[in-house]
């Protein structure tokens, strides 16, 4: 049974995180939960939290999973959350992949709950062995299903897998395959963007190059004409690094809708610096760019 106040907090965290990721236009799904009373008591007993043997507190009363469409968005999503919530680096777990073995790599980050949210929790007010934190796990949509199976049927049932090293290795091999699929899909969209660029199909090129959730699908007519006529500009636009552009947008706190035209204006502002493009950039966009921290 779950405490209603805790479930409400989990939903509140989910809503705030979705809003932050949507601001950047990332493609994702978010899942959130609060531990049930039974799960809390089981983990407190199993891990001996708040005792002489283990003075640490339980930190995942609230858990959030972010399943991103593309693996290269994980760093951006983490940066967004670190700028919004207080990050507990010492308690977080980030695995670095190695070239010698394959298996799951974790990106499990711990954040402090805002006081306004923490004060709503009945559980935190009555259980001193639980920390006022929440855990966020970053995954891709491909790996999400594997992690759920692994957690419920391997992590929780470790004895079932004793003396079965070959099957353990096979299970790890599945996540290696899914990781390869993640990067293969990303590469596929890069290749598709290149084909659209060569065909001067600007809207499809922008969609497949930047891989974002647009707030509108239209492209400015003057902008499209310039792309058709100015080969140097269109070439420079295609060469803009997606990750660098999105990082610039996040750092500068620019408040513009995520759409194809604005991505071109932003690319020009940060990287290309074309006078022709600057002249056809709408005044509201120009005003926002002039006020940002470049």
Helix (H, G, I), strand (E, B) or coil at 248: helix
State in Å, rounded, how far the first CA of the chain is from the last one. 50
- The string of pLDDT tens digits covering residues 66-76 is 999 999 999 99
Percent of the chain topping pLDDT 90: 80
When pLDDT is averaged across residues 154-164 and rounded to a whole number, the result is 92
What is this structure's pTM?
0.90
Alpha-carbon distances of 8 from 11, 35, 121, rounded to whole Å = 5, 12, 9
Return the axis-axis angle of helices 242-252 and 74-84, rounded to nearest 10°. Answer: 10
CB 137 within 8 A of CB 108: yes
Q: Quick one: pLDDT band at residue 93, thresholds 50, 70, 90?
A: very high
241 phi-psi bin (left φ>0, alpha ψ -120 to 50, beta other):
beta
**Average predicted confidence (pLDDT) for the chain:** 93
The whole-number average pLDDT for the span 69-93 is: 96
Please count the other Cβ atoms lying within 10 Å of the Cβ belonging to residue 146. Answer: 19
Domains, the chain, ranges and CATH? 4-174 (3.30.460.10), 199-290 (no CATH)
d(CA 20, CA 81) in angstroms, rounded, equals 8
| Token digits of residue 89 | 């680096």
**C-beta neighbour count of 74 within 10 angstroms:** 17
In this prediction, residue 46 has a pLDDT band, given cuts at 50, 70 and 90, of: confident
The residue ranking higher by pLDDT, 148 or 234, is 234
Q: What is the mean pLDDT of residues 129-134?
A: 96
Average pLDDT over residues 170-187: 93
- In this predicted structure, the answer to whether residue 290 has a pLDDT above a threshold of 60 is yes
H-helix or E-strand spanning residue 139: strand 133-140
Band (127; pLDDT cuts 50, 70, 90):
very high
């Amino acid at each position: 049974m779950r405490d209603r106040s805790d479930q409400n907090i989990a939903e509140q965290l989910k809503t705030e995180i979705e809003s932050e990721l949507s601001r950047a236009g990332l493609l994702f799904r978010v899942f959130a939960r609060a531990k049930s009373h039974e799960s809390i008591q089981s983990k407190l007993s199993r891990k001996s939290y708040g005792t002489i043997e283990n003075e640490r507190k339980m930190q995942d009363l609230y858990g959030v999973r972010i399943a991103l469409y593309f693996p290269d968005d994980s760093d951006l999503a983490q940066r967004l959350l670190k700028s919004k919530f207080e990050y507990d680096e010492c308690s977080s777990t980030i695995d670095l992949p190695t070239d010698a073995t394959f298996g799951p790599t974790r990106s499990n980050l711990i954040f402090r709950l805002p006081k306004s949210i923490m004060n709503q929790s009945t559980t935190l007010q009555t259980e001193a062995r639980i920390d006022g934190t929440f855990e966020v796990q970053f995954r891709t949509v491909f790996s999400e299903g594997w992690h759920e199976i692994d957690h419920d049927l391997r992590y929780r049932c470790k004895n079932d897998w004793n003396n079965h090293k070959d099957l353990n290795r096979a299970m790890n091999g599945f996540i290696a395959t899914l990781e390869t699929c993640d990067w293969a899909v990303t590469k596929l969209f890069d290749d598709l963007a290149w084909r659209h660029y060569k065909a001067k199909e600007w809207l499809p090129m922008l969609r497949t190059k930047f891989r974002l959730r647009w707030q509108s699908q239209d492209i400015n007519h003057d902008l499209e004409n310039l792309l058709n006529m100015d080969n140097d500009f269109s070439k420079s636009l295609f060469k803009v690094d997606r990750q660098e552009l999105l990082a610039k947008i996040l750092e500068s706190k620019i408040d513009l809708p995520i759409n194809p035209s604005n991505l071109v204006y932003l690319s020009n502002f940060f990287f290309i610096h074309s006078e022709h493009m600057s002249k056809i950039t709408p005044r509201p966009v120009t005003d926002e760019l002039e006020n940002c921290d470049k």
